[in-house]
Amino acid sequence: MAKDDTAMVIFQPSARRGMVKKGLTLIEASREIGVDIEALCGEKKVCGKCKVRIEEGYFEKFNIESKRSHVSEWQEEEDKFIKGGEKEQGYRLGCVAKVLDDVLVFVPEESRAGKQVVSKAARDIPIQHNPAVKAYCVEVVPPTFEEPRGDFERIQDELTREYGLKDLRVDIFCLREIPTALREQDWKVTVFVWMDREVIRVLPGKVERYYGLAVDVGTTTVAGYFCDLSTMQVLNTRSLMNPQCKYGEDVMARITYHMMNEDGLEKMSNDIIEGLNTIIDDVIAGTHPPKKRKKKKTEEDEDLDALSEEAREGAAEEEDPAKYPCLSREDIVDFTIVFNTAMHHILLKLNPEFVGLAPFPPVVHKSLDIKARDLGIQINRSAYIHVLPNEAGFVGADNVGVLIAEEPYKKDEIALLIDIGTNGELVLGNRHKMISSSCATGPALEGAQLSYGMRAAPGAVERIEIDPETHEVNYKVIGHEAWSKYAEKKKLKTKGICGSGILDVLAELYRSGVIDKAGRFSKNQKSNRYRVNPENKQPEFVIAWADETSINRDVVITQKDIRQIQLAKGALYSGCKLMMRRMGIDNLDAIKIAGAFGTHVDRTKALVMGLFPDCEIEKIHSVGNAAGDGARCALLNREKRVEANWVSRNVEYVELTVEKDFQQQFMEAMQIPHMKDSFPHLENIVAPEILHQK
């Protein structure tokens, strides 16, 4: 039961929920619960962007009916934005309507500031300890009339004598700390030196632990790995929706936003910088005693805890407040960052216009070391942000990150590396030759932009079976062992379909004959699960009925959803095949799938569906967020930075869209499954009637 002064608020379609204090506006509640509602005007009630719909229904758990009266009264300001019968449908402005009791709120597509956050946990990969920033403790003799050397020279000379560090530069902001630091603990200091070249921090006494942050800025998701640079431990992992999502879902949309708005680049850059500062604040707050933490624990957090195996392993490594001191932003002395080329340009305020136009030249390839203060990133002012190098216009530093984490250029086996994010990036080769390319998969394989797509969290359909005779559905949701057929469906709290489930759904729809090879709904439908939606006139198939879900709506997959997945898989498969043709090879020794998608995908089904070319099943591996791992490698081992620059210039980028049969290859690859090619490795695993059905 809700306490008297709090109420349960559930947001749709994300189905996030939480207890909030009564009296908060819906926008304030959404912020507490972690739902992103557009609020351009800063809640001044003048932009009308935060329109939401108060839905009828009830809360299963509490059995209390949600009524419109559970929010505060209609206000005059709303008249201007909510018109034409919308008021009757329950629309309100999120910045006006206040929570008075439990309420279910539907956030329409146009009011969503972003999509769900995919948590990206840190993998346990072997990294040699050789950080770019190192700490040296020195003790110097105080000045005398005979020997009145300057404070800095006193330190420099000792660093030369003890550690062979010569001709060090010193950052001006750091230089200002030196006189006091030297005299605070009797001429003993710890000196932090960047790349054996520049003194960036001096602290009194002996300091052993120091910290860095490795960041992967995706088009949709931003992940930060907070590391102890002395022990290499990942102390904390934080993920965030890329705040730029409100300017457009994909990179082209954001480049367009820049071209259409004079301050577009500035705004998008500032937003992502602010996002990074939020991550910094979060990991710093994580080192302080829990009582000081303000953020309310929501179901979201519980979901995150319950995530993947990797995440659980990561969580085990999280900070122990007793062991680590309370830190400040100044304690973060190094920072590495990877992103695709467009995100790279936008964050650095480099004109992204030309990287979006053929032949897509980036402004710069090589890695950059930029003072944190020059980008407004709030770590130690004297610290550098190490920006990893770009390979090409559509293969960015994130791909370089994957490469230095996986090191295919050190191996004999010919591997195909697939990084499926909002764009697909591909690298093929071995120590003799490497080529890269990109393909426009879009975010469908991550579950985004689908009607009931959601991240891999409890309540998400991850497996499905469709009876070919009856078209009845049996599904499994994350968080429950039992399939729906054997469960009390209501208890599964089904909310949507996650990225890895999408492929399963598509495979079953095809296998059971609900859709045909071309992805169209068959004429011969056997159940009432198939219908044409009266509102949008689209055919759709019901996966879970409203009364089986926790959101009280039918979870469906639409014709448009199927097309999105087909486009994604077609782009990916044809990209892989064209690259193999370029390399002159027919077989792959290994496939490595980076990104959250790879973590959850059923390798066999992916092969069956023709997501990528044939390969021995055992040689198909998920490598998690390898881009982020690469950023972490570069944070903890400076040799990796050299390697990154080398590899970025030695992977040959091939532009597949200029191949003369690109279009034909792509169209063919959209078919389900792609049967033009042979899959020798599948013959032993998959029943021939599935593999060879017409």
Binding site for a second copy (CB under 8 A): 143-145, 148-154, 169-170, 172-173, 175-176, 178-180, 183, 348-351, 353-354, 358-366, 368-370, 373-375, 390, 392-393, 653, 655, 658
Cα–Cα distance, 119 to 308 (Å, whole number): 9
Long-range interactions of 70-77: CB distance < 8 A, separation 24+: 70/7, 70/99, 70/100, 70/101, 70/102, 70/103, 71/26, 71/97, 71/98, 71/99, 71/100, 71/103, 72/96, 72/97, 72/98, 72/99, 72/100, 77/45
Nearer to a second copy, 67 or 176 (CB): 176
Q: Cβ of residue 576: shortest distance to a second copy, in angstroms?
A: 20
Long-range interactions of 67-73: CB distance < 8 A, separation 24+: 67/101, 69/100, 69/101, 70/7, 70/99, 70/100, 70/101, 70/102, 70/103, 71/26, 71/97, 71/98, 71/99, 71/100, 71/103, 72/96, 72/97, 72/98, 72/99, 72/100
E-assigned strand segments in 430-511: 434-439, 453-454, 460-466, 473-477, 496-498
Nearer to a second copy, 521 or 653 (CB): 653
Phi and psi (nearest 5°) for 567? -60, -45
Q: Cβ of residue 359: shortest distance to a second copy, in angstroms?
A: 4
DSSP for residue 13: T
Q: Could you tell me which of 639, 644, 643 has the C-alpha nearest to residue 130?
A: 639
Q: Cβ of residue 144: shortest distance to a second copy, in angstroms?
A: 6
Task: Decide if 246 contacts 219 (C-beta within 8 A).
Answer: no
Nearer to a second copy, 180 or 693 (CB): 180
Q: Cβ of residue 278: shortest distance to a second copy, in angstroms?
A: 22
Nearer to a second copy, 395 or 615 (CB): 395
Q: Cβ of residue 180: shortest distance to a second copy, in angstroms?
A: 7
Q: Cβ of residue 355: shortest distance to a second copy, in angstroms?
A: 9
Q: Cβ of residue 365: shortest distance to a second copy, in angstroms?
A: 4
Task: Decide if 12 contacts 106 (C-beta within 8 A).
Answer: yes
Nearer to a second copy, 497 or 651 (CB): 651
Q: Cβ of residue 360: shortest distance to a second copy, in angstroms?
A: 6
Nearer to a second copy, 229 or 647 (CB): 647
Q: Which two tokens stand for residue 39?
A: 């609020």
Cα–Cα distance, 19 to 28 (Å, whole number): 12
Cα–Cα distance, 654 to 582 (Å, whole number): 9
Q: Cβ of residue 145: shortest distance to a second copy, in angstroms?
A: 4
Task: Decide if 202 contacts 176 (C-beta within 8 A).
Answer: no
Q: Cβ of residue 176: shortest distance to a second copy, in angstroms?
A: 6
Nearer to a second copy, 339 or 679 (CB): 339
Cα–Cα distance, 123 to 234 (Å, whole number): 10
Nearer to a second copy, 234 or 348 (CB): 348
> Rounded to whole angstroms, what are the CA distances from 294 to 22, 286, 429, 648?
18, 11, 49, 42
Nearer to a second copy, 272 or 543 (CB): 272
Nearer to a second copy, 74 or 173 (CB): 173
